[in-house]
Amino acid sequence: MLTYVDPASVEGLIPQSISGETREPHLHVSFPTLEDTPALNRRLTNDLGKAVQSYTIRTKTADRFPAPEYNVDWQLTAASPDVVGVRLRTGEFGGVRWANSTRTLWYDRPADHVLGSADLVNNLDLLSALVKQHLDRDPAVDSDVVRPDPRLFDSLDFNSRGDLVAEFDDYQVAPGSVGRIAVAIPRKDADALLTPFGRRARIAVEQAKPASLPEIVTMRGGGGHSVPNIVPRPRGVPSEPEHRADCAVLKCVALTFDDGPGPNTEKVLNALGDERATFFAVGVNAAVEPRELARIRERGHLVANHTWSHRDLTTMPENRVYEQLSRTQSLIEGATGEAPALVRAPYGAIDPKVSEVARELGLSLVQWNVDPKDWRDENAGAIASRTLAEARRNSIVLLHDTNPATADAIPEIVDGLAARGFTLVTVPELYGSASMTPGHTYDAGGRASVSRRGQPLP
């Protein structure tokens, strides 16, 4: 079973995001940076920037439903004073099914040097032979495609026993129906394969403080099937703010912030001052700094669910939708002491399956009716101008605390709305005594009758 470092235990770790919340094709990329790993930060930023650019060009003229999607999330495989490992998990949805791939980069801290997974081993021919021996045991797997190619062995890691684990992408060595495949080379066999840096990497993995929720991986030759133990939480109830606004009397607007927390969240909080807002947190980012969620709550804001890795939920089977939502519920509840009562589906994509899982978890679905498209803009003044021009009574405004320009725009937005007589509130305050019902979808001042996709909602 693969294990990963608890990101909250790593000093100087900063989550980064590239996103297009309402863009079609869909796009969301998350990756880590650290304060003292300059070469690694440059490599991740450059590689993922190029991947985003390539995907955008390839899908520029795509106009189909469901929309194509490109998603990257990450785990730390090691984070010692000597070695850092970053596992990038990429998913591409082409309209029918997801194709997932993994790539693990390793960083030599003393040398400030980034290495690929193949640099962990000294003999790709021997590694290929050992991997083929294990894969040959499964008739569903085509071991003939295994060859001593660094591109094939671009995701090597170590499990808790010190075995060398080689991961393969979907459709790389077997049909998609087989699922994700990894081969574990026993530690005693792997010893002769490892380079000096490979041995240092294994030590770093063994020293790591593991995260509490390992990922699902199908192991061949050295392990079994692992499923995260996610326990359903009690249904959330929106917290009552200390001074609840009466939006039946006042002109209310709800500012909402997606995709954080991130490096700009604190600036957004400071700019809001005593005004209240709703923050829809992405689990992979929130896991880095759960204390930031507590700070958001302590300042009078509402913390809500924006899934674990920001994938379009309508493209996923029900069990994966449940995992995306419940895993984030558990994280937020652990950080704030409250299970969220609200969720925003990535890209606003909702279908009856998503509504049913949300109902089961006690979550009301929140859309928006003002979108200043701040994610695509570096001009704070333009973001503020569009927000102020479109805001109406009972509006729900979509913003992103991951965008530096958005953080810069908040003072002008807050002052401009106040000058127009608006009161800033959390989303539940818009609905007053009518409250919000789990599994139902809300956009502005009342229930929506249809989703953004035209699907009937409960």
Catalytic residues: 258, 400
Look at residue 377 in the predicted model and tell me its pLDDT: 82
Residues 6-47 pLDDT 10s: 999 999 999 999 987 666 789 999 999 999 999 999 999 999
In this structure, the answer to whether residues 332 and 417 fall within a common structural domain is yes
Reference 402, options 20, 9, 67, 10; nearest CA is: 20
SS3 79: strand
Q: Are 369 and 395 in contact (CB under 8 A)?
A: yes
| Judgement on whether residues 191 and 274 belong to the same structural domain of the protein | no
Provide the β-strand partners of residue 167. 182
Query: How is residue 295 written in tokens?
Result: 């700070």
Q: Are residues 14 and 158 in the same domain?
A: yes
Do both 216 and 282 map to the same domain?
Answer: no
Domain membership of residue 286 as a residue range? 251-442
Same domain for 216 and 256, yes or no, is no
* Whole-number pLDDT of residue 437: 95
Top mean pLDDT of 8-22, 237-251, 407-421 is at 407-421
Co-location of 259 and 211 in the same domain: no
The CATH number assigned to the domain holding 16 equals 3.30.565.40
Q: Are residues 52 and 191 in the same domain?
A: yes
Q: What is the mean pLDDT of residues 364-374?
A: 96
Instruction: Please check whether residues 257 and 370 belong to one and the same domain.
Output: yes
- What distances in angstroms separate CA 265 from CA 15, 101, 225, 259, 416, one per listed residue? 11, 30, 37, 10, 21
Give the distance, in angstroms, between the CA of residue 21 and the centroid of all CA atoms in the same chain: 13
Q: Are 275 and 310 in contact (CB under 8 A)?
A: no
- Please give the residue that has the higher pLDDT: either 63 or 388: 388
**The CATH number of the domain where 293 resides is what?**
3.20.20.370
3-state secondary structure of 307: coil
Q: Is there a single domain that holds both residue 287 and residue 432?
A: yes
Residues 258 and 211 in one domain: no
User: Is the model's pLDDT at 97 over the cut of 60?
Assistant: yes
| Stretch 39-65: mean pLDDT | 89
Number of domains in the chain: 2
The verdict on residue 228 lying in a domain is no
pTM of this prediction exceeds 0.85: yes
> Are residues 209 and 263 both part of a single domain?
no
369 CB-near residues (< 8 Å, 6+ apart):
395, 396, 443, 444
Q: Is residue 1 part of a domain?
A: no
Read off the tokens for 128: 């290929």
Q: Write the pLDDT tens digit of every residue in 307-347.
A: 999 999 999 999 999 999 999 999 999 999 999 999 999 99
Q: Please check whether residue 435 lies inside any domain of the structure.
A: yes
